[in-house]
Amino acid sequence: MSFLRRRKGTDSSKSQNLRCNIVKEDEKNNLYESPRKESYNSKKSSCWDSCCWFIGFVCSVWWFLLLLYNTMPASIPQYVTEAITGPLTDPPGVKLRKEGLTVNHPVVFVPGIVTGGLELWEGHQCAEGLFRKRLWGGSFGELYKRPLCWAQHMSLDNETGLDPPGIRVRPVSGLVAADYFAAGYFVWAVLIANLAQIGYEEKTMYMAAYDWRLSFQNTEVRDQTLSRIKSNIELMVATNGGKKVVVIPHSMGVLYFLHFMKWVEAPPPMGGGGGSEWCAKHIKAVMNIGGPFLGVPKSVSGLFSVEARDIAIARTFAPGFLDKDVFGLQTFQHLMRMTRTWDSTMSMIPKGGETIWGELDWSPEGSSFNCGAKTLRNNSINNTDQIPNINLANMKNVNYGRIISFGKDVAEAHSSKIERVDLLQDSMKADMLANLTNCDIWIEYHDIGDHRIKAVADYKVYTAGSILDLLHFVSPKLMARGGAHFSYGIADNLDDPKYQHYKYWSNPLETKLPDAPDMEIYSMYGVGIPTERAYVYKVTTATDCSIPFQIDTSVEGGSEDSCLKGGVFSADGDETVPVLSAGLMAAKGWRGKTRFNPSGIPTYIREYSHAPPANLLEGRGTQSGAHVDIMGNFALIEDIIRVAAGATGKELGGDHVYSDIFKWAERINLQL
């Protein structure tokens, strides 16, 4: 029994030892496995922790910087900017206030095409809730929300050029009409702010807002805008001690005010009845900024194919997309149909024909300037003569006179080697066709047929002398309306009674300046930017509902310095208006006593060489010569403020020229 007890005890102890060993092995295994599990879990948790910490860190830094920005003194951002870019010059208004300049002559702003706001006063059901909301300018919110309704309300009547039935869109009034085109994109705001620095306010500043879609005379017919401008100028002179106004038109506003000066002198009912001395009594100076006095080639491409350089490039990156019916939209067709109801666009068709713009084998510019040249920055607005002239006399000759060419070979060949089919003869053979297509959007191209489209291309090349025939051929309704309001020739005899009609008043080659020898006229514009001057086109192979002509963006000049890029020939200018158009009248047509300037009004050319902003902190720059950005150019603003404060053109220093405008003027055979 004891043996059994001992054996049982022995077995019991062995079993116990075995269990202990198993437990120890399990513990050992657990000890071996647990670091691996912990390592895996720790890696997983550390990844999440890192992400959370990173997000938290970014948010904390963002909120901290936001707190600092809202609590720091206003001078700190300026200090940071100066630390990066160097000392900032005072804005012109601040600088001139320190010199003792104060408010003197009232100023009148005349905005250009598309920069003035338009608001809805009456519309169709699709425009419900938009009463007095901006359709043009501001956020353009309605363009995104209801684009077809927006295009319908922005269009004018295709027969009358006035309001369509049931729609009234009117210009916004006051300085807010054109201070900003869209949020953060200034037009007149910087100039207004600088004038305010020397004491100007709303009673001494007036924005002559108008509906820029209408022909100039129709702004008076529909809205009495010309009469309102006349009354406001008379009021400003009367309430400011008899001091004459300084008028500052920009872009197409230059042509609009040229029309106004003839309208205000002319007897009623066609004119304002102010008499021949009105301008002499009320206007000290007209300071034209970026004035397309003789038109712009860009208007031709816009009317012909709704294109300019940037749009043509966009079509290249998205071929066919903007032409097709995507999401219910045919963008280019809608755009063409809408803009071809805007009669004002025809005011900027090139004027003066081949005499001004050149022939098949000749143009005043002769050669292109170096489109690849880098413009040097010049931080002193009083020392701009240090900026080098970018025009190079030895550049390759360009046939700028050929505003439209079908094919690069046609654009570059001598005229004797170009075989052309007479467009006018072809047009007589083919009758206008009824619109038999199934296109949702009617445009005039749908009526002319394939034969006429081929005839346009077969004529090969168009100069300023034949461009009008081309536009009459492809858009007869548009040009029929335009022909009643605008003219594009050169007058043989300005005393001919026919030139008393308003259709000639916005063409400086077919009208006389006012009898106001004490008034001054300035042509102020940017130079040094490649500006559209001529185009290479092709016939598209798209569907019947598309626009049949397109800038051929595959055409290049072959070198970095070439001014043929993307199917567009460029010349010197401000990116929109060539120097030839902006400066020729002041350089020759109005220089001294001429038949266009019988009283000898002094004229001055003030050119501003373009210099891009050095970095993003400069925004659109203070030395820009671009067509709209020049409105923030410190040198230009300083010139304007000095004249508004009483200075004359001679006191400014007279002409300030970088381009070859005087050389080109000598080459133009303009009877004076």
Q: Which pLDDT tens digit goes with each residue over 462-499?
A: 999 999 999 998 888 889 999 999 999 999 999 999 99
Task: Of 489, 508, 511, give the one whose Cα is nearest residue 500.
Answer: 511
Q: Are 579 and 499 in contact (CB under 8 A)?
A: no
DSSP label of 563: S
In this structure, the number of other CB atoms found within 10 A of the CB of residue 545 comes to: 19
Query: Residue 70 carries which side chain, given as an amino acid letter?
Result: N
Is 620 buried (19+), middle (13-18) or exposed (0-12) by CB count in 10 A? middle
pLDDT of the residue at 105: 98
Task: Report pTM.
Answer: 0.84
Q: Which residues contact 202 (CB under 8 A, 6 or more apart)?
A: 174, 175
Task: Of 582, 411, 372, 595, give the one whose Cα is nearest residue 490.
Answer: 595
Report how far residue 191's alpha carbon sits from residue 467's, in angstroms, rounded to the nearest whole number.
37
Task: Of 493, 510, 503, give the one whose Cα is nearest residue 589.
Answer: 510
| Residue 369, both tokens | 């300037």
Q: Are 550 and 540 in contact (CB under 8 A)?
A: yes
pLDDT of the residue at 395: 53
Report how far residue 150's alpha carbon sits from residue 126's, in angstroms, rounded to the nearest whole number.
9
Residues labelled catalytic: 251, 574, 627
CA angle 573, 671, 286 (to 5 degrees): 50
List, for the chain, all residue ranges whose pLDDT scores fall below the cut of 50. 1-16, 18-19, 22-23, 27-28, 31-32, 34-41, 43-44, 313-318, 321, 325-328, 377-394, 428-429, 432-436
Distances in Å between the alpha carbon of 216 and those of 224, 237, 258, 310, 409? 11, 24, 10, 28, 40
Cα dihedral 9, 15, 18, 20 in deg (nearest 10): -80
Q: Is 17 helix (H, G, I), strand (E, B) or coil?
A: helix
Q: Is 608 helix (H, G, I), strand (E, B) or coil?
A: strand
| Residue 360, both tokens | 């098949």
Report how far residue 200's alpha carbon sits from residue 596's, in angstroms, rounded to the nearest whole number.
34
Distances in Å between the alpha carbon of 77 and those of 70, 73, 236, 614, 653? 11, 8, 39, 17, 36
Task: Of 455, 458, 459, 354, give the one whose Cα is nearest residue 399.
Answer: 354
pLDDT of the residue at 147: 86
pLDDT of the residue at 569: 94
- Per DSSP, the residues of 278-341 read HHHHHEEEEEEES--TT--HHHHHHHHHS--HHHHHHHHHSTTTTTS-BTTB-HHHHHHHHHTT
**CA 71: distance to chain centroid?**
38
Distances in Å between the alpha carbon of 529 and those of 535, 572, 586? 17, 6, 20
- Per DSSP, the residues of 457-487 read HHT-EE-TTTHHHHHHHH-HHHHHHHHTT--
Write down the number of H helices and E strands in the chain.
23, 17
